[in-house]
A and B are shown apart, each in its own frame.
Chain A
Amino acid sequence: GAGVSQTPSNKVTEKGKYVELRCDPISGHTALYWYRQSLGQGPEFLIYFQGTGAADDSGLPNDRFFAVRPEGSVSTLKIQRTERGDSAVYLCASTRGTGSHEQFFGPGTRLTVL
């Protein structure tokens, strides 16, 4: 089957604009994670969904960042009033469920804020 997909693959925006990044997890995967990877760093946790609810959003850097997963499948990461420091690759991963399951990663969305 298809793996995790993310759109767009690249997004260039201007400082102060609003952006939405989309993640399509593997079908049937109930758990979904968002990570952010800045240049030269490893991925950093942002938020975790189990089903439709955000079970842990402790990694969101501030209230400009928000994510939803209204039907327990596709998730959208929303960033308001973008700043240059938001430039990074945003990764999505999904797993079959809770517990120690392998996380399957998408290809990422490269966000550039000019």
Chain B
Amino acid sequence: AQRVTQPEKLLSVFKGAPVELKCNYSYSGSPELFWYVQYSRQRLQLLLRHISRESIKGFTADLNKGETSFHLKKPFAQEEDSAMYYCALSGVTGGGNKLTFGTGTQLKVEL
């Protein structure tokens, strides 16, 4: 069975401080990992995916298969980063890719 764990419900940091949102997963196959973000009063949207190896809005995430982790990092937090962040794992289903989400981490960036 596939599972995603986000141990922190709330993470509060000061503006300009580094951010790390933790995500661990369990999956028997080769996983595809994503970070989705939900800003206040907006819909859930993709932030980044591990196969793209991109930096989006200053965020990066590296897939560590040895530690089964996909932590989200940003060196300097900005006020506009305050949002709910969900780590998700994609599992193949009937040709599609259903997502298994963690419980989410609320990031609050304080001035």
What separation, in Å, do the CA atoms of A56 and B100 have in the docked complex? Answer: 14
**Cβ-neighbour of A48 out of B4, B9, B86, B94 (below 8 A):** B94
On chain B, the number of residues with a Cβ less than 8 Å from chain A's Cβ atoms is: 24
Is A62 an interface residue when CB atoms closer than 8 A count as contact?
no
Question: Contacts A91-B44, A105-B45, A106-B43 known; A48 to B100 CB distance under 8 Å?
Answer: no
Interface contacts (Cβ under 8 Å), in number, total 69
A42 with B98: CB separation less than 8 A: no
Majority DSSP secondary structure for residues of B touching A: strand
- Contacts A55-B94, A100-B97 given; indicate if A42 touches B103 (C-beta within 8 A): yes
Q: B93 near A: Cβ within 8 Å?
A: yes
Count residues of A near B (Cβ-Cβ below 8 Å): 30
Q: Are B104 and A33 in contact (CB-based, < 8 A)?
A: no
In terms of DSSP, what is the predominant structure of the interface of chain A? loop
Give the interface of B toward A (CB within 8 A). Answer: 4, 9, 32, 43-46, 49, 51, 86, 88, 90, 93-104
